[in-house]
């Protein structure tokens, strides 16, 4: 009968511990359903065109997935040299396209940004739990480049929109952004 004896030196123990930790950490993430996401929604933002001339419009599309059961409080921030083109906002899902209005369209003078805020009930997103908010911005003046940013929060149905958002304290955590440029 053969007997094997293994003597581990301190540096072997450390190496073994690192290998086991690395092996345990692999294989997580990605893939199918069962997301552990917690928040208002998963969002992705895009703009077209990304480079424009003064006085022209930019179309912004925010794709929304995994909306929270209480709904989504969608906040968009962009440079003060752009302005929301009134009555251009639409919520799209599958073949459905309906006009929506922002709950807020406000300038934060201390930071030079504009905030658009949309209150989107969970029922808007249907069984597939996804949709898009599409709107246009006018490139007015004073900005050469900047970012359009998005933050999706959980809507709190127990408080009013006016209590939920303040331009002085927007509680904005960028989830995605797109760079835009105005040609001179």
3-state helix, strand, coil in the chain (%, to 5): 15, 40, 45
pLDDT of residue 62: 98
Tens of pLDDT along the chain (184 residues) come to 444 454 544 544 443 343 333 333 333 333 334 455 568 999 999 999 999 988 999 999 999 999 999 999 999 999 988 999 999 999 999 989 999 999 999 998 778 899 999 999 999 999 999 999 999 999 987 677 899 999 999 999 899 888 899 998 999 999 999 999 888 7
Q: CA 133 to CA 61: how far, in whole Å?
A: 6
- Model pTM? 0.78
Q: Distance between the two ends of the chain, CA-based, in angstroms? A: 86
How is the chain split into domains, by residue range? 42-171
Fold annotation for 42-171: Immunoglobulin-like (2.60.40)
Length of the chain equals 184
Tell me phi and psi for residue 10, to 5 degrees: -55, -40
Render the burial of 38-50: b for 16+ CB within 10 Å, e for the rest.
eebbbbebebeee
pLDDT of residue 109: 76
Beta-bridge partner residues of 177: 149
The two tokens of residue 176 are 């995605």
């Amino acid at each position: 009968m053969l007997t094997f004896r293994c003597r581990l030196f301190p540096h072997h123990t450390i190496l073994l511990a690192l290998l086991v930790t690395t092996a345990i950490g692999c294989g997580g993430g990605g893939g199918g359903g069962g997301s552990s996401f917690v928040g208002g929604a998963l969002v992705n933002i895009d703009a077209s065109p990304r480079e424009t001339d003064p006085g022209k419009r930019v179309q912004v599309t925010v794709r929304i997935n995994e909306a929270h059961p209480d709904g989504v409080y969608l906040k968009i921030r962009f440079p003060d040299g752009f302005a929301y083109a009134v009555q251009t906002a639409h919520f799209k899902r599958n073949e459905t396209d309906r006009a929506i209005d922002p709950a807020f369209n406000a300038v934060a003078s201390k930071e030079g940004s504009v905030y658009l805020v949309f209150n989107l009930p969970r029922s808007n997103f249907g069984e597939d739990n996804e949709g898009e908010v599409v709107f246009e911005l006018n490139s007015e003046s004073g900005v050469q480049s900047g970012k359009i940013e998005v933050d999706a929060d959980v809507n709190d149905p127990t408080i009013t929109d006016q209590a939920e958002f303040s331009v002085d304290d927007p509680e904005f955590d960028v989830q995605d952004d797109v760079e835009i440029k105005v040609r001179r």
